[in-house]
Amino acid sequence: MFKLISELYPICRSITGEGVRETLRILEGIVPIEITEVPTGKKVFDWVIPKEWNIKDAYIQNMEGEKIIDFQTLNLHVLNYSSPVNETVNLEDLKKHLYTVQEWPEWVPYRTSYYAEKWGFCMSHNQMESLKDEKYQVVVDSTLSQGHLTYGEVYIKGKVPDEILISTHICHPSLCNDNLTGIAVCANLARHLLKTDNYYSYRFLFVPGTIGAIAWLALNEKKLKLIKYGLVTSLLGLDNVFTYKRTRSGNTTIDKIVEHVIKKETTNPEIIDFIPYGYDERQYCSPGINLNMGNLTRVPYAQYPEYHTSADNMDLISQIALEDSLSIFIKILRFIEQDRKYLNLFPKGEPQLGKRGLYDHIGGHNDSKTLQMALLWILNFSDGIHTISDVAIRSGIDIDIMAEATEMLFKAGLLKKL
């Protein structure tokens, strides 16, 4: 994952343009990804796909011919979606087009102007303060033209058409935690699912923030009824506490599963109620869509000092945190896969396990007591109301042992699939 992130880091992404396409092409090397191009001007719900933005170069040059700001060394230096410019301006006029972050005077902020055409540059506050009162040549060699918005989709067919949706944003340029970490974890999670035998179908969306999610929803409204629930995710590369923001209704299966897993497997997780602010859960949980989508990150939305600055770079994130995040997702998937109901076919009294060879089987198991408890829990709660993951959460027994016990009971003819 770290290697993938270092490959993606230098690319100048935005909500449209070649940077997004190049990113998706690199992801294609990991998972088969279906790429959709939505043309400029297409209406998607209340929005319109904007002009496509591409950029070759940008710099600010002083009168000595020295480039004091160079897009080639850091793409955050250009206001993302900046309109083209080639002018000589004085310091006072230049400052009207400069963006800095005063609290962190050494860092370059990441700023965008998607829906208002203007040119601009981002630099450290210290550098802006040190600018001499002279003339500067400003060049942004960008284009805003009729083109497309691009997003990627990975669909993994399971035994049933019911889908689990996982969405992450791909529109940020050279920023690591936000959100190359989300991209890397999702791509690897999809790769993991391609190798396993899955009950549910899974759909991963790699979409530009807001407009990308809205475009996907608008173009796929008919598919929404198949989505059981899902997660929006990002910010997965810091060694911080896991933060889960609940779905809009706050008490759905995905809420129960994620809360259980992060409480059991991680230290001091933070769980917050839904608010209509943050990432693309804003779109998925809008009232006319109303999908059961939670949001899982390693730090609350925007709540870290390096957020949207040049300090959100390769030095900030760690491979260990990424692996940790991936393993938590894999654990969540195991619970999702067991979100299925069975019926105890011998519900009057306990069925006799010994005569069915279940105790013998248990004897050789390295966690035989837990497995025995799992059998009893499953038999008791396979009442047509509870799922296996419900029983795992209630009993606290490991989900893999629950899955194994379910299989044993099913094979012994004690359970029926519902």
Binding site for Zn ion (CB under 5 A): 178
Smallest distance from Zn ion to CB 14, Å? 12
Q: How far apart are CA 73 and CA 52, in angstroms?
A: 23
Smallest distance from Zn ion to CB 303, Å? 12
Token pair for 67: 């480039």
Q: Which is nearer to Zn ion, 15 or 149 (CB)?
A: 15
Smallest distance from Zn ion to CB 273, Å? 22
Q: Which residue is nearest to Zn ion (CB)?
A: 178
Q: How far apart are CA 361 and CA 390, in angstroms?
A: 25
Smallest distance from Zn ion to CB 308, Å? 6
Q: Which is nearer to Zn ion, 20 or 139 (CB)?
A: 20
Q: Which is nearer to Zn ion, 302 or 345 (CB)?
A: 302
Longest dimension (CA), the chain: 93
Q: Which is nearer to Zn ion, 178 or 337 (CB)?
A: 178
Smallest distance from Zn ion to CB 183, Å? 12
For residue 368, give the amino acid letter: S
Q: Which is nearer to Zn ion, 178 or 339 (CB)?
A: 178
Q: Which is nearer to Zn ion, 178 or 324 (CB)?
A: 178
Beta bridge partners of 244: 271, 296
For residue 325, give the amino acid letter: S
In angstroms and rounded to an integer, the radius of gyration of the C-alpha atoms of the chain is: 25
Smallest distance from Zn ion to CB 376, Å? 48
Q: CB under 8 Å, gap of 24 or more: what pairs does 302-309 form?
A: 304/177, 304/235, 304/238, 304/240, 305/104, 306/107, 306/177, 307/177, 307/178, 308/109, 308/110, 308/111, 308/175, 308/178, 309/76, 309/101, 309/104, 309/107, 309/108, 309/109, 309/110
For residue 66, give the amino acid letter: E
